[in-house]
Amino acid sequence: MDVKSSSALLSNTNFSGFTLRNSDHAFSTSCSYPRSPMAVSCQLSKNSHHENVTSLPLSNTLTNHCLTFDKRNPLGKTFCSAGVCTYDGVAVESHSGIVEEKVGVLLLNLGGPDKLDDVQPFLYNLFADPDIIRLPRLFRFLQRPLAQLISVLRAPKSKEGYAAIGGGSPLRKITDEQANALKMALEAMKISANVYVGMRYWYPFTEEAIQQIKRDRITRLVVLPLYPQYSISTTGSSIRVLQSLFRKDAHLSKLPVAVIKSWYQREGYVKSMADLITKELETFSEPSEVMIFFSAHGVPVSYVENSGDPYKDQMEECIFLIMQELKARGIENKHTLAYQSRVGPVQWLKPYTDEVLVELGQSGVKSLLAVPVSFVSEHIETLEEIDMEYKELALESGIKNWGRVPALGCTSSFITDLAEAVVEALPSATAMSASSDTSIVEEDHDPIRDFVKLLFGSVLAFLLLLSPKMISAVKNYL
């Protein structure tokens, strides 16, 4: 019952290719799979800025082709500054052996319901994702009936939230704007690229973006998830979809792809966040007295402790880097980090945002600046959860002066940094080998078997629902 459509999702058109030549200069990197196949960590040289960039195959040994760019491209020399990849700056003339490259950038995001009627099917897609509700292997057949049940039961509460922010999620509009801004920033760097948007749980779906990329005959692709920090539940889940699509398609499996897995440590991002915080602090009457309150989206503890999700470590390092940047500007405010938006019956990363707000208020903190850090656009969890629920809770708990830093959106220093990240990642794009990747367990889609599974699963889910343990587990999602 996945809701998918064939509507095209291209964010940008007017693409023109530029000339590149593949050379055989190469560097290699090895990737390991810590417990979960999704939590891939790539061992590149420590000081390499390609550390968080990997190519899609995620096979044990990757070979990356270096590019030789036209001398007229002023950024050519920055492409291959890591590893043993070299750039000789040779001008590329149009003769045989030279490839006309068509560069694509795929922005990955979560997606959100455009209107209230979309809320339940959007929630279904989210809960049907095995990276969001992780069932033991034996119980995987329950995934879709459970997703159906939870989405139907949770929809009324979620709808209230979306109604409070205007009747739908602003994510699609903002992500499209970011795609346009990125295309322009790349153009300013003399890189002509198509920028696509692929959402995980709502339109425009990642699958549609990939079809468009194929139709446009893109020859080199950079995948840029709009999550600064990597989590199995966000970037990991979207990459799993890409792996599955690329594996099944002979053309796509040959397309050179580079995935920027995380970018929270990039100077441009850190400085852009520090700029926003600095500006917002100035709106308080006593800026130095304000507690800087970083609120990150939570994940279940088991992701971090049992499946090697680097999310918590990356989040803490990200906060450290932002605070270091603020200190360098003479801003020495106190700060804290807490995790918001927990859902379901399991333990999530602590401390929880709501609990910390109450403690801070009760302990005498009077001024607080909330900083959302896990996402770069406004969405329901900034506009409703932080701006309404948490603000009310904070004021009730004794905090007098409340402020909130806006999401980065299309902030120009941030978009320029993303464009630079794309440019740096381009040479490490590597063709995916259809046969070498054993990291994904493919679900096969025999329709008769799927139907029987769904029917059997629904009956079993209904029976299981009668058990008190199950009732309380499902209740936790509401």
Give me the residues that bind ligand L6N33NVT (CB under 6 A), please.
110, 112, 123, 126, 132, 154, 158, 169, 171, 227, 231, 233-234, 297, 299-300, 343-344, 374-375, 379-381
Closest contact distance (angstroms) between CB of 168 and ligand L6N33NVT is 8
Half-sphere exposure of 438 (CA within 13 A, CB side): 5
Closest CA to 474 of 348, 345, 300, 298: 345
Closest contact distance (angstroms) between CB of 478 and ligand L6N33NVT is 10
Closest contact distance (angstroms) between CB of 117 and ligand L6N33NVT is 14
Cβ proximity to ligand L6N33NVT, 255 vs 407, nearer residue:
407
Cβ proximity to ligand L6N33NVT, 184 vs 470, nearer residue:
470
Closest contact distance (angstroms) between CB of 375 and ligand L6N33NVT is 5
Q: Which residues contact 442 (CB under 8 A, 6 or more apart)?
A: 244, 247
Which amino acid makes up residue 24? D
Cβ proximity to ligand L6N33NVT, 343 vs 395, nearer residue:
343
Q: What are phi and psi of 361, to 5 degrees?
A: -60, -45
**Per the structure block, which two tokens stand in for 115?**
């209107």
Closest contact distance (angstroms) between CB of 262 and ligand L6N33NVT is 11
Tokens 């989405």 belong to residue: 151
Cβ proximity to ligand L6N33NVT, 101 vs 385, nearer residue:
385
At 76 the three-state DSSP class reads helix
Residue with the CB atom nearest ligand L6N33NVT in the bound state? 112
**Per the structure block, which two tokens stand in for 142?**
């329950």
Closest contact distance (angstroms) between CB of 380 and ligand L6N33NVT is 4
Q: Which residues contact 117 (CB under 8 A, 6 or more apart)?
A: none
Asked if 370 contacts 293 with a C-beta cutoff of 8 angstroms, the reply is: yes
Cβ proximity to ligand L6N33NVT, 343 vs 393, nearer residue:
343
Asked if 147 contacts 133 with a C-beta cutoff of 8 angstroms, the reply is: yes
Cβ proximity to ligand L6N33NVT, 79 vs 477, nearer residue:
477
In sequence order, the β-bridge partners of residue 291 are: 368
